[in-house]
Structure 1
Amino acid sequence: MNEESEERDEVLATVQRFERMLADGEPMFFDLGDFESIIDHYTQSTQFDKALQACEAAVAQYPFSTELLIDRAQVLAMRGQYQEALVQIDEVAGRDPDNADVAVTRGIIATQQGDFPAAVGYFQQGAERAPDRDDIYFNLGLAYQQWQKFKSAARSYKQSLKLNPDNDAAVQELLYCLEVSGRLETNLEFFRRFTDEDPYSAIAWYNLGQAYYKAAQYGNAAQAFDYAILIDGKFYEAHAYLASCFVSMEEYQRAIDEFQLSYPEGEPTAEALCNIGECYEKLRQWDQSRRHYQKALDLDPEMDEAWFGIGVILDAQEHWFQALHYYRKAVGLYAESGEYWIALAGAEYQVGNVVSALEAYEKATEVQPEMPEGWINWSAILYEQGNYDGAIDLMKTASELLPEDADLLYRLCAYQLAAGRYRQAYDVLENALLLDFDKHRLLFEFFPELEQQRALTRLIEQYRK
């Protein structure tokens, strides 16, 4: 057992002892560090009621501990009890006005209340009092980020990482801010600098790998994760990321090998097993794929990706009735996936459940209207049923939502031609040709006989470059 696992087990044992005390109603002694661990455990798992119980018990034993009073204020804020939290932190400020955590807690409360200018001011005040604390700069970054000031947020996260390169949450938020602001590629040097300063730091290579991965530089990312693994062979997260690089490069067997190293021997995770199942699916090794998806479900029956994966396998083998069960389970667990609804709709259509298919496509376009497949497949059924007006209306709605998608315009043009609306069809075709000329072949794939229409082919030729 590694040191991290031992520490986690110790905390869980302490938490269990605390819960026994509450259940039995008999007082037990906990030192200050024990109470801090118990409170952290509950807050990290968002069990704020229990966290507050721990705070009350702790303050009863250590009434003069400013650390515990600050914890209590922060837990009250997490529960939305802002006024009580502010009263508590004002009490601490009266005792210890220069305590950096007083400013930090006020900043956390202001952030949760949506008062981002005040939050930034408080965190900056805290950073002045304790300039070597990475958590303060991290919280400052969160305030800027929620304020939509991504450049300022990135600067704060960078400062947090300079003080503590192991802060993975800061890495993730920094990468997000750089990605959103379109500045990721120009900031790769920031991550490279850590490996230059300490080439034997596994975490530095891991963070650089994540940056390359986000920038879609998968070869460079794989190399960085390789270095992290060379330094620390049991860096399981690095193995998982390296596997994801291989997936992105469509090297599925190499990805499988790495996913199998992404957990301690004999302790597979549901996520790793599901990822392995997906790789075997890409290799069309159906039995191996289904076996790993099922193993993932044995560990976590609520894993929607594994239910969906088995559905995909059955669908590929044209076992549509069986696939329906798995797709329905997947959408039942995660109804916000357009991909799941589209797959379910396709299977419903294959078994002749046309009404159910139409309902599923409608749901797909509700939850993810930016996915053109839902609109196109839904409209295709209406077209096949002779409902040209319905198909045209769907394509108009879709093309308004996704004006840069030429496929939708060519499809709309085809439906209008079928309905005899030639003038409207030619207007749409002109827009489609301007958007993406080469995709005009889609029109002829949909209606091969259109290649014989001279007026149409002349119009297309006018736009050939």
Structure 2
Amino acid sequence: MNYSHEDENYPLTRFESMLKTNDILFFDSNEFENIIHHYLENGKIALAKRAIKLGLEQHPTSINLRLFQVEILVIENKFSEADEILDMLHDIEPNNEEIYIQKANVLSKQDEHEKAINTLLIAIDISSTPEDDSDLYALIGMEYLFLDQFENAVIYFKKCLESDTSDYSALHNIVYCYDFLDQNEEAISYLNNFLDSNPYCEVAWHQLGRQYFTIKDYAKANAAFDFAIISDDTFVGAYIEKGKVLEKLKQYEEAIENYKVTLALDEPTSFALLRIGYCYEKLGQDDMAVQFFNKTIKDDALLDKGWIAITKFYMKRLDYNKALKFISNAVNIDGENVLYWKLYATINKRLNFLEEAEIGYKRTLELGNYELDTWLDRSDILIALGEYEASIYNLLQAAEFYPENPEIEYRLGGLYFTTHQTQEGRFHLKNALRLNIDYSFIVSELFPLLVDRPMVKAIISEAKKASD
């Protein structure tokens, strides 16, 4: 096999050829470093370890190869072995900042974040190139994030960005900290100052727009996203955010235009397709709305917002059969989605498919939706189906979450009377009347046969007299 020595991958190709043939070839330490770095970047840990082993056999005094060895040991959670090597390296080269960086990495992995910060500060002190310390500042910022010390994290991410204004991850982290601290005004002030000296930074304009959006200053948000687009007219995120602002301003045609730009620039996203559908719905263009809702669920069948949008679209138009078709498909795709089951139950109830509705409400409760209406709707359907004991059990469970609730108590009173459990019926009916006498109509609505029963009439009339 012939290799071109001009080929920058030549050492890597030569190394892999050596592994296949078991020949021992010589590489200088820089070549080994590049080979190991390549394998680590690509997650090929086993090959990186082989390269380190062979590298150290040929260059046993190489500090950098030893540091790669430490990196592997950290990945394998072998912290004490990594520490031993770092201590040895520190004795040889006490002013090597990379040794401190790796030491900090070992400490961080063991949740010793304060010690990691102190170690990184030493690395900064001994740094031979203070102007290139942006990575060290970023590492300290991350350690403060691990400690939930957002104010300190901001300080170091700002130092990082001062050293390297193109470090957009530091910019994102600064805004993240401000967001966590609910300091939108401070974030806006910082971003505006940053933009004074970096006026064409599309990421900063985008972040500024998001801050204005959060505080509902939609005019300024719109202007910020415009500047982001001027700075980079292929910036998909800026068009998306501008579309959201225009929706808030009820400028739906313009919002659609911005969302459609993203479809042309990149692969269509289900989010953009969904928002276009909503905009067309707001404009009363139902055919276009349905078309884009359908595109949304076709593009991403796992996006629950798409299925919910098209289901609710038909529900609003009282077309429950079509709504049921879509929500049934959604349930088949994701049977663990509580929002799907709630809609499934509601639609079946509207269509008077009571058994299916009851299944829907039961599943909704099983999945942890304990809203009062869910318990009550299921109870009422069980009553309509004549499943009185199941309805009682359902309401007793509901009462654990909503004790002393009159709507639950009236139903329990009616159910106990219906099932000839008079003592329990009296207790719950009296309790219900005590809690809220105005809800007494529930008895006549759900249990019309009880209204003329002497005991029930007497309890209700006695309560009404006492309240007059």
TM-score of the two chains, using structure 1 as the length reference: 0.66
The secondary structure found in structure 1 opposite 2:99 is: helix
2-structure distance, mates of 1:230, 1:447: 65
Partner of 2:364: 361
Aligned pairs for 1:160-199 within 5 A: 160-199=160-199
1:310/1:109 Cα in 2 relative to 1: closer, same or farther (>3 Å)? farther
| C-alpha contact (below 8 Å) 2:433/2:440 kept by paired residues | no
| In 2: Cα distance, 1:167 partner to 1:59 partner | 35
Unaligned segments of structure 1, at least 5 residues: 1-12, 43-47, 401-408, 431-439, 460-465
Percent identical:
19
- Say if 2:213 is the partner of 1:213: yes
The structure 2 residue matched to 1:120, chosen from 102, 117, 120, is: 117
Contact 1:276–1:292 (CA under 8 A) maintained in structure 2? no
CA contact (8 A) 1:236 1:262 kept: yes
Question: Are 1:101 and 2:98 an aligned pair?
Answer: yes
| Structure 1 counterpart of 2:141 | 141
What code does the residue aligned with 1:331 have? D
- Residues 26-75 of structure 1, C-alpha deviation per residue, up to 9 Å, x if partnerless? 699978557535533x3xxxxx5x24534643674585765565455445
Structure 1 residue 195, shift from structure 2 partner: 1.6
Q: 1:270-281 maps to which residues of 2 (within 5 A)?
A: 272-273=272-273, 275-277=275-277, 279-280=279-280
Give the equivalent residue in structure 2 for 1:322. Answer: 325
Unaligned stretches of 5+ in structure 2? 1-7, 384-389, 414-427, 446-460
Deviations 1:187-207 (A, max 9, x none): 421122112233333233223
- Deviation string 1:142-184 (CA, Å, 9 cap, x unpaired) is 3222323233233333333333444443344433433333333
Matched ranges for 1:432-447 at <5 A: none
CA distance in 2, matches of 1:328, 1:221: 38
- Tell me the equivalent position of 1:232: 232
- The Cα offsets for residues 378-426 of structure 1, whole Å up to 9 and x where unpaired, read as 43222443477556556555569xxxxxxxx9xx343334545577658
Conservation of the 8 A alpha-carbon contact between 1:379 and 1:394: no
Give the residue type in structure 1 aligned to 2:241. Answer: Y
- Could you give the per-residue CA deviations for residues 268-310 of structure 1, whole angstroms, max 9, x where no partner exists? 345544554565566654432234215524xxx6656556655
Q: Contact 1:116 / 1:144 at 8 angstroms: preserved in 2?
A: yes
The whole-number CA distance in structure 1 between the counterparts of 2:346 and 2:110 is 45
Aligned residue pairs, count? 401
Identify the residue that residue 151 of structure 1 maps to in structure 2: 151
- Cα distance in 2 between the residues matched to 1:359 and 1:226: 49
Aligned residue identity for 1:147:
L
5 Å-filtered alignment, 1:33-432, equals: 36=37, 39-40=40-41, 42=42, 48=43, 50-51=44-45, 53-54=47-48, 56-57=50-51, 60=54, 69-71=66-68, 73-74=70-71, 76-87=73-84, 89-90=86-87, 92-130=89-127, 132-249=132-249, 251-262=251-262, 265=265, 267-269=267-269, 272-273=272-273, 275-277=275-277, 279-280=279-280, 284=286, 285-294=288-297, 296-297=299-300, 306=306, 317-318=319-320, 319-328=322-331, 331=334, 335=336, 338-346=338-346, 352-365=355-368, 374-386=371-383, 398=401, 412-419=405-412, 421=428
Q: Offset at 1:357?
A: 1.1
Q: Mark the structure with the bigger radius of gyration.
A: 2
User: Corresponding residue for 2:454?
Assistant: none
Question: In structure 1, the residue corresponding to 2:94 is in which secondary structure?
Answer: coil
**Per-residue deviation, 1:233:** 1.2
Structure 2 vs 1, CA of residues 399 and 108 (structure 1 numbering), >3 Å: closer, same or farther?
farther
SS of corresponding position for 2:95 = coil
Superposed CA offset, 1:224-251 (max 9, x none): 1111111221222222222333345554
